[in-house]
């Protein structure tokens, strides 16, 4: 059984303060000595500035396989139904219908880890994302890949640096175009860079400092932005 809470608070814009709570469990079965499969139902809730924002319900399936000296892989697929709870903006019913973001959210990909040395692990893989919403605004498909390095450091520290790139191809022009913008299908280049430092501080208790840079390079001005998120996290594990 899993339960988690995550959140962030902005120094100047409290409207974007986020809190995320989730829960899940999984069943797992071995398929020989090198392969095992896992099925995990998922549930989560997100709040912005303490207001309801999103509920999602879904499942994730993984197939893990050890490739021996070549490392280990995880072929995965994740599905969720997203139920957005905020009031839909728009001056007309047709505009509000187009901006209805509720929909089917599908991710799939392959993650691979390869031990470069006894203390250094290289990780990465491709992914695919598909979203089918009730309204036309958020229908898209996307592809991308990520890569990262995990390094064991002195004093029981673990460091990790990773980066990803994704290309999101929307089916329609945005309904949020500003005056003077060209009417064209929305396209986003999404870049994410992350660095973290982690250390156990007690049995089953780990503290993590993490910095994330997110850049959505969109041809639609409303969705063209970047941000930095810095956080300090404490993880508590139960059981063996």
- Residue 137: count of CB within 10 angstroms of its CB: 23
Residue 169 lies in a domain: yes
- Residue, of 140 and 182, whose pLDDT is higher: 140
The rounded distance, in Å, linking the Cα atoms of 126 and 67 is 18
Mean per-residue pLDDT, 76-101: 95
Give me 217's structure tokens. 């390079």
The stretch 192-199 carries a mean pLDDT of 97
Number of structural domains (the chain) is: 1
The H or E element that residue 94 is part of is helix 93-98
Per the structure, the complete domain to which residue 151 belongs is given by 117-123+137-240
Backbone angles phi, psi at 37, to 5 degrees: -120, 150
Average pLDDT, the chain: 91
- Asked if residue 97 belongs to a domain, the reply is no
Find residue 187's DSSP bridge partners: 169
What DSSP string describes 111-175?
EEEEESSSSEEEEEEEEEEEEEESSSTT-EEEEEEEEEEEEE-STT-EEEEEEEEEEEEEEEE-T
Helix (H) or strand (E) holding 135: none
Element holding 97 (H helix, E strand): helix 93-98
**Four-CA torsion 49, 55, 19, 224, nearest 10 degrees:** -70
pTM (2 d.p.) = 0.87
What is the C-alpha separation between 203 and 199, in angstroms, rounded?
11
String of DSSP letters for 211-224: EEEEEEEESSGGG-
Q: Is residue 50 part of a domain?
A: no
Q: Find where tokens 């059984």 sit.
A: 1
Q: Is 232 exposed, middle or buried (0-12, 13-18, 19+ CB in 10 A)?
A: exposed
pLDDT score of 15:
60
pLDDT band at 44 (very low <50, low <70, confident <90, very high): confident
55 in any annotated domain: no
Per-residue pLDDT of 90-117, as tens digits, reads: 999 999 999 999 999 999 999 999 999 9
Q: Does residue 21 surpass a pLDDT of 80?
A: no
Q: What is the pLDDT of residues 160-182, one digit of tens each?
A: 999 999 999 999 999 999 998 98
Domain-located, residue 166: yes
Q: What tokens appear for 235 in the block?
A: 């993880």
- What's residue 203's pLDDT? 81
Residue 121 pLDDT grade (very low, low, confident, very high; cuts 50, 70, 90): very high
Q: Is residue 237 part of a domain?
A: yes
Instruction: Please tell me the distance from the alpha carbon of residue 205 to that of residue 156, in angstroms, as a whole number.
Output: 13
Q: Is residue 211 assigned to a domain?
A: yes
Do the domain assignments include residue 196? yes
């Amino acid at each position: 059984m899993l339960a988690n809470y995550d959140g962030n608070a902005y120094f100047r814009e409290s409207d974007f303060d986020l809190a995320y709570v989730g829960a899940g469990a999984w069943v797992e079965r071995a398929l020989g000595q090198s392969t095992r499969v896992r099925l995990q139902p998922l549930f989560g809730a997100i709040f912005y500035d303490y207001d309801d924002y999103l509920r999602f319900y879904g499942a994730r399936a993984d197939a893990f396989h050890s490739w021996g000296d070549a490392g280990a892989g995880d072929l995965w697929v994740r599905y969720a139904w997203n139920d957005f709870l905020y009031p839909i903006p728009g001056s007309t019913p047709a505009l509000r219908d187009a901006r209805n973001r509720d929909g089917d959210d599908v991710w799939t990909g392959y993650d691979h880890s390869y031990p470069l040395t006894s203390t250094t692990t290289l990780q990465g893989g491709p992914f695919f994302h598909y979203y089918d919403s009730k309204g036309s605004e958020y229908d898209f498909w996307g592809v991308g890949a990520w890569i990262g390095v995990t390094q064991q450091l002195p004093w029981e520290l673990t460091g990790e640096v990773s980066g990803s790139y994704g290309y999101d191809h929307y089916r329609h022009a945005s309904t949020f175009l500003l005056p003077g913008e060209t009417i064209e299908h929305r396209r986003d280049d999404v870049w994410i860079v992350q660095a973290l430092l982690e250390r156990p501080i007690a049995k089953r208790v780990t503290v993590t400092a993490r910095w994330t840079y997110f850049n959505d390079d969109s041809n639609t001005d409303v969705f063209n932005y970047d941000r930095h998120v810095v956080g300090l996290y404490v993880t508590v594990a139960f059981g063996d």
